[in-house]
């Protein structure tokens, strides 16, 4: 049996199974796994407008690291919650996560079934539904794109809307380097809507208020609070996100080691300070004076975004890669399908290959994905991007070095915005 035959024969994850209210006997387990680490980080929770707020309610949480789930547990103590979790979070622990209140989701898919399950948790089980709408860890410590459907869902559900905005989790273990820094953390727990206020507000007004409550900038927070992070490898891995040199504009030739970033193309080197800023420590070849293009790290990331946006507007954006594809049909194991080709352009994603003797094509047009999920060195197999249907998730690992999954993630967001604000372009 070939791997594609195994995929066809695999029983898919049961996405329609009714959510289980977190078992009483698991509450001490969840607390025991959460509180020691939050205490170690001196977690401080700032409660705002939370007087009289009791379950059920919709809890929208920012997402920066695995520690987020432990902070959420502490913030809602002594209440329990159901959590929306990506399918790879269920691998090898489906029973545990289901009984702890987990609800499975394939990322960046339009899943009506999920809305039914959320409604069931809120109306039948009358408990808290915790949702991480950014759907991936923040890449650079700032708010990721939020789906415009969030406001509509909140209005339909008609329960209080509470936002948990966490500060410090990203600084402790950014997704590009998971070694822990052990800095302090805090979180703002704020009710932003009562049911009565939701009924009176428009979907646009709800989305705007959620976006406002979700705003964060981890590096600005670090500097403002004078949080010193002197971890010797504090910049190691940052080149995964900052893939483009702001001096010579070369892509995919950035590298990082210890506390420094270096461009292999022009030789320029920057240092990441203990307060999370960057400063030039070595000029580029031919550069006359020492200049630092960006001191605030998220500004470098937004420079990359603007560069991708320009490529899209000029019609020149295109990425073509040879890749290796794994599939995850259920929570048991990955299935290695084999080699394929991935293209990302103004037409969106196209994954095509021959697995066994069977031709395979997956297309994801720009307006079907407002963002996408990427991973750095996923299970030590390399950087990857994953694309999902309602029944499968494909983990795609590019070969070589001339690529950046960060750039593809930025391009996905910019393509969606481009076509969403210029719908006439699609018909030309």
Q: What is the CATH number of the domain that holds 376?
A: 2.30.29.30
Q: Are residues 292 and 423 in the same domain?
A: no
Q: How many domains does the chain have?
A: 3
Alpha-carbon span 262 to 203, nearest angstrom = 45
pLDDT per residue over 336-348, tens digit each? 999 999 999 999 9
Has residue 1 been placed in a domain?
no
Q: Which domain holds residue 399?
A: 317-427
Whole-prediction pTM value? 0.94
Where among 297, 312, 327 does a domain terminate?
312
Q: Are residues 308 and 376 in the same domain?
A: no
Q: Are residues 278 and 338 in the same domain?
A: no
Q: Are residues 94 and 136 in the same domain?
A: yes
pLDDT per residue over 31-81, tens digit each? 999 999 999 999 999 999 999 999 999 999 999 999 999 999 999 999 999
- φ, ψ of residue 141 in degrees (nearest 5): 80, 20
Alpha-carbon span 423 to 428, nearest angstrom = 10
Going by C-alpha positions, the residue among 363, 354, 236, 219 that lies closest to residue 298 is: 219
Q: What is the mean pLDDT of the chain?
A: 95
pLDDT per residue over 258-268, tens digit each? 999 999 999 99
pLDDT per residue over 194-211, tens digit each? 999 999 999 999 999 999
DSSP 259: T
Q: Are residues 161 and 57 in the same domain?
A: yes
Q: Are residues 107 and 121 in the same domain?
A: yes
Which residues touch 174 (CB under 8 Å, ≥6 apart)?
64, 65, 141, 237, 238
Has residue 308 been placed in a domain?
yes
Alpha-carbon span 164 to 189, nearest angstrom = 5
Give the pair of three-digit tokens for residue 16. 């329609």
Where among 252, 283, 312 does a domain terminate?
312
Going by C-alpha positions, the residue among 65, 59, 238 that lies closest to residue 138 is: 65
Where among 281, 312, 343 does a domain terminate?
312
Give the range among 278-292, 310-324, 414-428 with minimum mean pLDDT: 414-428
Which residues touch 327 (CB under 8 Å, ≥6 apart)?
7, 334, 335, 337, 392, 393, 394, 395
SS3 for 260?
strand
Has residue 10 been placed in a domain?
no
Q: What is the CATH number of the domain that holds 116?
A: 3.40.1130.10
Region 91-99: what's the mean pLDDT?
95
Could you identify the residue written with the tokens 């997704």? 175
């Amino acid at each position: 049996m070939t791997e594609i035959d195994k995929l066809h024969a695999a029983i898919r994850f049961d996405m329609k199974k009714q959510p289980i209210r977190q078992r009483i006997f698991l509450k001490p387990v969840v607390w025991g796994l959460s509180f020691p680490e939050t205490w170690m980080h001196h977690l401080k929770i700032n409660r705002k407008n939370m007087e009289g707020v009791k379950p059920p309610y919709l809890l929208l949480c920012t997402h920066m690291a695995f520690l987020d789930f432990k902070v959420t547990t502490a913030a809602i103590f002594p209440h329990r919650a159901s959590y929306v979790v990506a399918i790879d979070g269920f691998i090898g622990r489906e029973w545990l996560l289901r009984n702890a209140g987990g609800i499975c989701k394939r990322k960046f898919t339009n899943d009506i079934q999920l809305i039914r399950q959320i409604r069931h948790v809120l109306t039948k089980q009358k408990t808290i539904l915790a949702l991480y709408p950014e759907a991936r860890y923040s890449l650079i410590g700032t708010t990721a794109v939020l789906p415009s459907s969030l406001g509509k869902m909140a209005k339909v559900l008609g329960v209080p809307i509470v936002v948990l905005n966490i500060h410090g989790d990203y600084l402790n273990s950014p997704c590009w380097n998971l070694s822990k820094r052990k800095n302090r953390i805090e979180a703002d727990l704020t009710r932003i809507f009562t049911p009565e206020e939701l009924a009176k507000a428009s979907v646009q007004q709800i989305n705007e208020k959620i976006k406002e409550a979700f705003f964060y900038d981890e590096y600005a927070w670090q500097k403002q609070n004078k949080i010193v992070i002197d971890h010797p490898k504090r910049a190691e891995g940052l080149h995964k996100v900052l893939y483009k040199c702001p001096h010579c504009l070369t892509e995919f030739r950035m590298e990082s080691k210890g506390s420094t970033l270096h461009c292999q193309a022009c030789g320029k080197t920057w240092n990441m300070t203990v307060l999370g800023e960057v400063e030039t420590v070595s000029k580029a070849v031919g550069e006359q004076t020492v200049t630092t293009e960006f001191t605030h790290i998220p500004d470098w990331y937004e420079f990359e975004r603007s560069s991708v946006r320009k490529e899209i507007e000029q019609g020149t954006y295109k990425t073509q890669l040879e890749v290796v594809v794994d599939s995850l049909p259920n929570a048991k194991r990955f299935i290695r399908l084999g080699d394929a080709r991935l293209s990302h352009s103004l037409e969106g994603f196209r994954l095509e290959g021959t697995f066994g003797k069977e031709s395979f094509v997956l297309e994801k047009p720009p307006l079907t994905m407002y963002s996408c999920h990427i991973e750095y060195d996923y299970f030590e197999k390399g950087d990857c991007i994953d694309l999902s249907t309602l029944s499968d998730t494909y983990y795609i690992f590019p070969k070589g070095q001339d690529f950046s999954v960060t750039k593809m993630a930025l391009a996905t967001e910019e393509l969606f915005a481009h076509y969403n604000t210029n719908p006439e372009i699609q018909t030309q």
